[in-house]
Amino acid sequence: MVGDGAGAMSLVAPVVSAPGQRSPDEIAALHRHRVDKAIAWFREAAEGRTPRLCPICGYRGVFSPVRFKVETWCPSCDSRPRHRLLKLWMEREMRLAPGAEVIHFAAEPWVRGWLEARGARYRTADINDRFELRLDITAMDLPDASADMVIANHVLEHVDDAAALAEIARVLRPGGQAVLTVPMIEGWEATYEAPDLDEPQRRLRYGDPDHRRFYGRDIRERIRRAGLALAEFAAVEPDVSAHALQRGERIFIGTRL
Ligand SMILES: [Zn+2]
């Protein structure tokens, strides 16, 4: 029975049907029918229906699926929606003086060439040693006020974000910018985080077992609390359709006061 704590499988194949419920055989048949229809739909949609333009590499054509998301991956340069949104922000709104020091956590390869062509002094960083600087974003071995931009695309959800944001603010020069993206739900007032979840539960509730939380609208307050003035750049039409962006995805730009 549903609601007796027997777990999700009981929804698919209940042992006993209550009055008013479909019979176990009917439920199993209907479930199979919906699964087959969904797979057929996905097979077609996964091929890609609409040509898109990648603002990073210039590829024009259909984009590839990633897991269950169709038309997401640029098959020419491997960019995903958040990377393309970042490129649009860089092209349209970023202001970076020649010689500006940029530190990029979890860096994507295309960013270097693009920023260096505009005179930036660019270094990649991460907790492991695959990047130029081995840095813990929550305790950076860098002097105060030593960077003009810190880019951290989908990093904060993996770490102690209060410590990371305080560190980013500390290493930025006044007027320097933190460029941040996180997985978030705009419809949630508050971030969801439950410290004791096991791996299957983190996968279920955060979408990834390596994440510590799923952000709500209070991401803004968390950024401001670190002493950063907030601006935002959102994925809106016609960019969403033209470049296969995720509707409403946002880049948060925190400027050191
Ligand atoms: Zn591309």
Residues 27 and 123 in one domain: no
Residue 208 falls inside a structural domain: yes
197 residue type, one letter: L
Residues 123 and 248 in one domain: yes
Tally of residues, the chain: 257
Categorize the per-residue pLDDT at 8 as very low, low, confident or very high, splitting at 50, 70 and 90.
very low
Token pair of 10, please? 């009981």
In a domain, 130, yes or no: yes
Instruction: Using DSSP, state whether 249 is helix, strand or coil.
Output: coil
- Strands (DSSP E) found in 108-257: 121-126, 133-134, 147-153, 172-181, 228-234, 250-256
The pLDDT tens digits for 226-247 are: 999 999 999 999 999 999 999 9
> In whole angstroms, how far apart are CA 38 and each of 68, 74, 87, 155, 208?
11, 24, 33, 33, 23
| Domain membership flag for residue 56 | no
- Bridge partners of 184, per DSSP, are 215
Question: How many angstroms separate the alpha carbon of residue 54 from the centre of ligand 1?
Answer: 5
Answer yes or no: are the C-beta atoms of 218 and 193 closer than 8 Å. Answer: no
C-alpha 241 to ligand 1 mean position (Å): 15
131 CB-near residues (< 8 Å, 6+ apart): 107, 124, 125
Average pLDDT, the chain: 92
155 and 32 both lie in a single domain:
no
Distance (Å) from CA 98 to ligand 1 centroid: 26
Mean per-residue pLDDT, 121-127 = 93
Position 236 in a domain = yes
- In this structure, which amino acid lies at residue 11? L
User: How many structural domains compose the chain?
Assistant: 2
In a domain, residue 4? The reply is no
Q: What is the 3-state secondary structure (H, E, C) of 96-121?
A: CCCCCEEEEECCCCHHHHHHHCCCCE
Cα–ligand 1 centroid distance for 55 (angstroms): 7
Core vs surface per residue 165-195: b (16+ CB within 10 A) or e: bebbbbbbeeebbbbbbbbbeeeeeebeeee
The rounded Å distance from CA 112 to ligand 1 centre is 15
pLDDT digits over 19-40, tens only? 888 999 999 999 999 999 999 9
In terms of Cβ atoms closer than 10 Å to its own Cβ (0-12, 13-18, 19+), residue 90 is buried
Distance from Cα 64 to the centre of ligand 1, integer Å? 11
- What is the tens place of the pLDDT at every residue in 192-206? 999 899 999 999 999
- In this structure, are 35 and 128 located in the same domain? no
Report CA(250)–ligand 1 centroid distance (Å): 20
Q: What is the extent of the structural domain holding 101?
A: 81-256
Whether residues 14 and 137 fall in one domain: no
Distance 5 CA to ligand 1 centre (A): 47
Cα of 111 to ligand 1 centre, how many Å? 12
107 CA from centroid of ligand 1 (Å):
16
Determine, yes or no, domain membership for 90.
yes
Q: Rounded distance, CA 175 to CA 197, Å?
A: 39
* 3-state SS, residue 78: coil
Q: How far lies 22's CA from each of 3, 31, 32, 125, 199, in Å?
A: 16, 11, 14, 56, 34
